[in-house]
Structure 1
Amino acid sequence: MKKLKTGIFSGSFNPIHIGHLALANYLCEYEGLDEIWFMVTPQNPLKTQAELWSDELRLKLVELAIDDYPRFKVSDFEFHLPRPSYSVHTLEKLRETYPEREFHFIIGSDNWARFDRWYQSERIINENQIIIYPRPGFPVNETELPETVRLVHSPVFEISSTFIREALDAGKDIRYFLHPRVWEAIKNMGNNKDLGSN
């Protein structure tokens, strides 16, 4: 039986914005992925916990954003793994848990540029399929990529979650940077500063 090609889009999604959604949409429609799992990371080893909105809130906002596109799924898989979450362990556990799926790990070219800093990065490359999407200022030499790694030529989205949070803090109306349901949820919660850390 043919394995389902499942993209793992792992991130803090702090919060999810239209750049995340448009990229994932492109990967499903143009790059042969059957599904994309938005894997909300409980704690990134390279970020401090204080920067993050609560796990539950970030997960809820992803759910709201992807609800009407059947090829997107939200995953709290990493919530149930030891913290901090390391991608090598997550991917290993995913392969064990879902042998019927072929996982493709999705990262930006900015992360690829510092991939050697990741925990057991060589093992990730050797054991997994990796998709790199372009980020401004981080070109990738396709001729030097390992066999398990491919670069896609998706549109480039210069939006960051940091920009979103700062704009919300400043009281800006940035509804078109967010899925309408996410914008409504954040608005209804009031001041961004109260959205909370764990």
Structure 2
Amino acid sequence: MKVGLYFGTFNPIHVGHLAIANHLVENSDLDQLWMVVTPLSPFKKKSSLLANHHRLEMVYKATENYDKIKPSDIEFKLPEPNYTVHTLAHLEEKYPKYEFSLIMGEDNLKGFHKWKNYESILENYHIYVYPRISEGVIEHRFKDHPKITRVNAPIMEISSTMIRNSIKEGKNIRPLLDSQVWQYIDEMNFYKK
């Protein structure tokens, strides 16, 4: 089985994440796409994150009507900070019959050469890259790499930061969130302070 891994803090998960995930799983050779909720990215400050279980719950709520998209808490059980190369090794051990690929935006690919053991990841895994208007073309060093596939997915310039800021400012951002995710955020009073 071919599984795409879409890593993110999902703080919160929004319709942009879902549109990209659904497009990839429906328009590629992937059988499933796992939305891997990252407890702590080496590039993000933990203080701005909701608790792990809340972000995982939002991913569950957002994906429950998608047969091919699954939430994953695999990184919750691994040492922090989470490095993709360690997570991939853990997944290979746990699911030896699965073939894993990475999903990332052009913005992440731009800094991919800074990732821990990025050469090993590129050697062993396929990467699907979705477009971001703000990033332009793929970084030259990865332009024609055989393991990197640029996907003609919808361009979604929605960010979790923008959603959090809008909620804090009292703006209605319901169209940008799955209805169950919006309800959960509203009931829990998340992002209002």
TM-score range, shorter chain: over 0.9
RMSD over aligned Cα atoms: 1.5
Q: Which residue of 2 aligns with 1:146?
A: 145
- Secondary structure of 1:20's counterpart equals helix
State TM-score, norm by structure 2. Answer: 0.94
Question: Percent identity of the aligned residues?
Answer: 42
Q: Give the corresponding residue for 2:181.
A: 182
Unaligned runs of 5+ in 2: none
What is the distance in 2 between the residues matched to 1:32 and 1:63? 24
Q: How far did residue 191 of structure 1 move?
A: 5.0
Structure 1: gaps (5+ residues): none
1:27 counterpart (20, 24, 27): 24
Shift of 1:190: 2.3
Aligned to 1:81: 78
CA distance in 2, matches of 1:141, 1:83: 28
Aligned residues: 191
What secondary structure does 1:9 align onto?
A: strand
* Residue 17 of structure 1, CA deviation: 0.1
Distance across 1 between alignment mates of 2:144 and 2:50: 35
Give the AA of the match of 1:140: I
Q: Deviations over 1:38-67 (max 9, x none)?
A: 000000000110111111110000000001
User: Do residues 158 (structure 1) and 157 (structure 2) align?
Assistant: yes
In the alignment, structure 1 residue 93 sits paired with structure 2 residue 90:
yes
Shift of 1:109: 0.5
Change (3 A) 1:191 1:149: closer
Structure 1 position 115 matched with structure 2 position 112: yes
2:105/2:130 contact within 8 Å kept? yes
Whether the aligned pair in 1 keeps the contact of 2:10 and 2:160 (CA below 8 Å) is: yes
* 2:134 partner SS: coil
What is the alpha-carbon distance in structure 2 between the residues aligned to residue 86 and residue 114 of structure 1? Answer: 14
The farther-off stretch of 140-149 and 60-69 is 140-149
* 1:96-146 residue CA offsets vs partner (Å, 9 max, x unmatched): 111111111101111111111111111111111111111113212798332
1:8-31 Cα deviation digits (max 9, x unpaired): 001100100000000001001111
Structure 1-normalised TM-score? 0.92
CA gap of 1:110–1:156, structure 2 versus 1, over 3 A, is: same
2:124 is aligned to 127
1:62 aligns with 2:86: no
